[in-house]
Amino acid sequence: MRLATWNVNSIRTRVDRVLSWLDRADIDVLAIQETKCRDEQFPAEKFEAAGYEIVHTGFSQWNGVAIASRIGIDEVEVGFPGQPGFDKEADTALLSAPVVEARAIGATCGGVRVWSLYVPNGRSLTDPHYTYKLDWLAALRDCGAARLREDPSAQIALCGDWNVAPTDDDVWSPEFFENKTHVSAPERAAFQAVVDAGFTDVMRPFAPGPGVYTYWDYTQLRFPRKEGMRIDFVLASPALAARATDAGVDREERKGKGASDHAPVVVEFG
């Protein structure tokens, strides 16, 4: 299985580019984030014409996640148990009527439980969205740990834009990001808690060291200057991680007119 994850930053803007890449890269399953559309706006017919089944959840021009598979889609699950919501209109997170946003969708594809996840950004260290982000990651950890307790042999892939750079090697300048989100100690601890629950960053053994990034801001010529972050991951359960044979970032997809600010992460499982 060739599994990929990609924050496409608007599927309607980039659907042709995504489909062309799926063909060139010979991808079996793609977890997609930040589709930025409602379900009825998603260009499902183009994926179906290319031989992919598609599931999507999206409520507005924000967020949105999907899974495209040419090896089957079963047992679709929108959101995970305990997934917290966020009240966008409130001054404090998780108040009167928090909305469970379109940030998680799961499906079984070729025997693997694939999750497409778009972790909240956090905005700033003092923003209510930051607390929401930490709560969201804690709930995901609890859900993943529970599923591994139920079935230690389960094959699960937690794929997506995690909005966390877990080590200093995962950012172009630790000094630049000081006192900012994505690199704070609580965020890194929340990411590590998912790893400690039994999930492995399967790309790292195949792409070690600094300078391996998946995201480059559109501003300040970040991409040509190689000033990026590694915030997109495939975290695999023990049974699935044991099957990983190769992995990497397709940096070429960050190039050219109309590119997303993220590049796809691809993992090969034997």
Active site amino acids: 118, 161, 262
Q: Specify whether the CB–CB gap between 182 and 190 falls below 8 A.
A: no
Give the span between the Cα atoms of 7 and 163, in whole angstroms. Answer: 11
Q: Does 169 count as an annotated binding residue? A: no
* 261 known ligand binder: yes
- R_g (Cα) of the chain, nearest Å: 17
The verdict on whether residue 161 carries a ligand-binding annotation is yes
Strand order in the sheet with 244-249: 53-57, 65-69, 29-33, 2-7, 265-269, 244-249
9 is in an annotated binding site: no
Q: Is 232 helix (H, G, I), strand (E, B) or coil?
A: strand
User: Any known ligand binding at 34?
Assistant: yes
Cα–Cα distance list, 136 to 56, 82, 98, 104, 270 (Å): 20, 9, 13, 11, 31
Cβ–Cβ < 8 Å for 12, 36: yes
Is 129 annotated as a binding-site member? no
CA-based nearest residue to 231, from 256, 247, 249: 249
Binding-site positions for Mg(2+): 7, 34, 161, 163, 261-262
Binding-site positions: 7, 34, 161, 163, 261-262
